[in-house]
């Protein structure tokens, strides 16, 4: 059971669930009443099953690389047999599609397409320059945007803002992780950005992505502040202060640490810091309902 929990990346799965629940509560007019909607629960379940299946197939096809980059964390072939892993992957994928069909056949087809693309990602996309990174980032942004596809009675501008934030921060983290895994990727002839262009040019790309995240966050929260400035809405003062201390300041700190990063374990630290910034961004949804 512990091995299975590690295999499906339970902390990441819980973050996805938390993101969708919070987005549903904060972006839909129903507020917390959205939790009573059966279809909303099915969407969350299907998304989590799809993500879990994606993690399993990724590890299944990545055993050789993981044995080099993180040999102590290899699960498939050690704690869980390869045939069992693939059977669990298939079962989770099928349940994800069938459950989503209860909500909408269009969404079921979307989930099926994402599931198939996750297999293609693990076998091919992730070994190509930026293609795999962009795909994973799109999948993460879809965890929010899929709510709009399900029911358009939602604050579209905020959906776009948080979907873009999820996309860029995930892309940033994926490239950082590729830099951290450059040794194993190079030995397995994966054509990731760090392998092809080197760490120096990778850092230049990361500077650009971090600058985009920082600039977009400042503009978004400043506009939110200005929008309600003349309504004496003190909540938006708190929102801007929150963004300043928990998103904007950490972004400046991340850029500073990126400049100094030389060793691979330093990129591991940047990856964790990026995840905290992503979580802070998700939590800022709360201010949209106050």
Residue 116 CB neighbours (<10 A) = 11
Answer yes or no: do 136 and 243 share one domain. no
What pLDDT sits at residue 230? 47
DSSP conformational letter for 286: G
Taking a C-beta distance cutoff of 8 angstroms, is the pair 198, 249 a contact?
A: no
Residue with tokens 């776009």: 160
The average pLDDT across 210-237 equals: 75
Answer yes or no: do 193 and 94 share one domain. no
Burial of 206 (0-12, 13-18, 19+ CB in 10 A): buried
The average pLDDT across 96-104 equals: 96
Q: Which of residues 96, 124, 147 is at a domain's end? A: 147
Q: What is the mean pLDDT of the chain?
A: 88
Q: How many domains does the chain have?
A: 2
Answer yes or no: do 142 and 174 share one domain. no
What pLDDT sits at residue 228? 57
Answer yes or no: do 204 and 130 share one domain. no
Element (H, E) at 287: none
Q: How confident is the model at residue 61 (pLDDT cuts 50, 70, 90)?
A: confident
Answer yes or no: do 95 and 211 share one domain. no
What pLDDT sits at residue 280? 94
Whether 229 shows a pLDDT value over 60: the answer reads no
Q: Six-digit token pair at 275?
A: 């995840």
- Supply the CATH number for residue 244's domain: 1.20.120
pTM: 0.88
Residue 260 CB neighbours (<10 A) = 7
Answer yes or no: do 177 and 129 share one domain. no
Answer yes or no: do 175 and 113 share one domain. no
Answer yes or no: do 137 and 199 share one domain. no
Answer yes or no: do 248 and 106 share one domain. no
Q: Six-digit token pair at 186?
A: 């190079």
125-139 pLDDT, tens digit each: 888 889 989 999 999
Q: Which of residues 147, 173, 191 is at a domain's end? A: 147
Residue 38 CB neighbours (<10 A) = 9
Answer yes or no: do 3 and 130 share one domain. yes
Q: Residue 180 belongs to what domain range?
A: 155-290
Residue 136 CB neighbours (<10 A) = 22
Answer yes or no: do 143 and 159 share one domain. no
- Supply the CATH number for residue 95's domain: 1.10.357
Answer yes or no: do 181 and 88 share one domain. no
Q: Which of residues 105, 120, 147 is at a domain's end? A: 147
The average pLDDT across 196-225 equals: 90
156-198 pLDDT, tens digit each: 888 999 999 999 999 999 999 999 888 878 887 788 899 999 9
């Amino acid at each position: 059971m512990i091995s299975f929990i590690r295999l499906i990346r339970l902390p990441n799965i819980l973050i996805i669930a938390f993101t969708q629940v919070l987005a549903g509560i904060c972006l839909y007019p129903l507020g917390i009443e959205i939790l009573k909607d059966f279809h909303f629960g099915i969407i969350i379940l299907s998304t989590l099953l799809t993500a879990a299946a994606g993690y399993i197939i990724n590890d299944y096809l990545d055993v050789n690389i993981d044995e080099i980059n993180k040999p102590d964390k290899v699960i498939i072939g050690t704690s869980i047999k390869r045939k069992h892993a693939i059977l669990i992957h298939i079962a989770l994928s099928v349940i994800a599609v069938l459950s989503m069909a209860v909500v909408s056949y269009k969404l079921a087809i979307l989930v099926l397409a994402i599931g198939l693309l996750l297999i293609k990602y693990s076998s091919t996309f992730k070994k190509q320059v930026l293609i795999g990174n962009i795909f994973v980032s799109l999948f993460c942004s879809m965890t929010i945007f899929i709510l709009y596809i399900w029911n358009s009675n939602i604050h579209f501008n905020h959906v776009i803002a948080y979907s873009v934030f999820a996309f860029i921060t995930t892309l940033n983290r994926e490239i950082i992780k590729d830099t951290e895994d450059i040794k194993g990727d190079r030995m397995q002839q994966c054509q990731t950005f760090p392998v092809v262009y080197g760490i120096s040019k990778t850092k230049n790309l990361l500077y650009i992505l971090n600058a985009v995240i920082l600039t977009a966050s400042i503009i978004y929260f400043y506009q939110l502040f200005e929008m309600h400035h003349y309504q004496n809405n003190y909540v938006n003062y708190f929102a801007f202060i929150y963004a300043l201390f928990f998103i904007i300041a950490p972004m400046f700190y991340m850029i500073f640490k990126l400049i100094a990063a030389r060793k691979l374990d330093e990129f591991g630290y940047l990856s964790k810091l990026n995840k905290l910034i992503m979580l802070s961004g998700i939590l800022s949804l709360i201010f949209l309902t106050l």
